[in-house]
Amino acid sequence: MSHTAITAGYLAYDETIKGKRLGVLVVHEFLGLNDYARRRAMMLAELGYMALAVDMYGDGKQAAHPEEARAFADELRKNFDVAKARFLAAMSFLKNQPAADAERIAAVGYCFGGGMVLNMARQGTDLKGVASFHGNLTAVKPAMPGSVKAKVLVLHGADDKFITAQQVEAFKKEMMDAGADFLFISYLGALHSFTNPDADEYAKKFNMKIGYNKHADMASWDKLKSFLKEIFGR
């Protein structure tokens, strides 16, 4: 298994696989490109994909506190052209890898990253599919009819305290009005950050209403695996 820290992020793939590898971009949570995002990239590499964990904050910046993370994330939301440019640069880097299948790329995001991949789909980015895990559902720029080219998978915690029922319904309506091919799955009892085993520790340390949910983590990962097979055709 090869894994390399690079300017664009962290690239992971299985060197023993012959032929072109299907590509998956992984966008980190609001703390930045940390071990969790790299671990998810490695898990995708173990499935046979070439995975690039993207550094959306630039220069390897990581937040030590939620307030700092919020500032990093808000800055990118306010300057979405910068965020989009970084995402597209990472996508181009992945496509240009000799062992990558440049025509078939997907994107996966967690929390902040989930919102980012959904917004890239809204912008009509040429991705086969995007999957959001406990991601923000608010649009930087709402999808227009026909603008969403990628298939969309949203894996949501039904007890998420950061996302309102109104935001969920508004997102579903936006996707339907845009004619998007989307699937929205809610996991009962799951809070924000339900896929991250470190969430319970963060919850205690920073008094945050987040938490790990093993059942939802495993079920959502299985759903991602079937989704990737569906969009890639293998």
Q: pLDDT digits over 102-144, tens only?
A: 999 999 999 999 999 999 999 999 999 999 999 999 999 999 9
Residue-number span of the structural domain to which 202 is assigned? 2-232
Supply the pLDDT for residue 6: 54
Q: Sorting pLDDT into bands at 50, 70 and 90, what band is 3?
A: low
Q: pLDDT digits over 46-102, tens only?
A: 999 999 999 999 888 888 888 998 999 888 888 999 999 999 999 999 999 999 999
- Which of residues 19 and 166 earns the better pLDDT score? 166
Spatial separation of the C-alpha atoms in residues 52 and 107, rounded to whole Å: 9
What is the average per-residue pLDDT within 154-163? 98
What is the average per-residue pLDDT within 149-170? 98
Spatial separation of the C-alpha atoms in residues 89 and 190, rounded to whole Å: 33
Flag whether pLDDT at 194 surpasses 90: yes
- Which of residues 60 and 27 earns the better pLDDT score? 27
Mean pLDDT across the chain, nearest whole number? 94
Per the listing, tokens 């508004």 go with 170
Strands 129-133 and 9-13: what pairing?
unpaired
The type of residue at 148 is V
CATH number at residue 131: 3.40.50.1820
Q: pLDDT digits over 58-73, tens only?
A: 888 888 888 998 999 8
Per the listing, tokens 């590898």 go with 21
Supply the pLDDT for residue 170: 98
Supply the pLDDT for residue 234: 75
68: Cβ–Cβ under 8 A, 6 or more apart, which residues?
A: none
C-beta separation of 3 from 45 below 8 A: yes
DSSP for 156-205, written as a single string: EETT-SSS-HHHHHHHHHHHHHHT--EEEEEETT--BTTT-TTHHHHHHH
Flag whether pLDDT at 1 surpasses 70: no
Spatial separation of the C-alpha atoms in residues 107 and 118, rounded to whole Å: 9
Torsions phi, psi of 37, nearest 5? -65, -40
Per the listing, tokens 């995007």 go with 130
- Could you give the number of structural domains in the chain? 1
Residue 198 is encoded by which pair of tokens?
């470190």
Supply the pLDDT for residue 186: 98
C-beta separation of 139 from 167 below 8 A: no
Supply the pLDDT for residue 77: 87
Supply the pLDDT for residue 4: 55
Least confident of 7-11, 116-120, 157-161, 185-189: 7-11
* Rg (alpha carbons) of the chain, rounded to whole number: 16
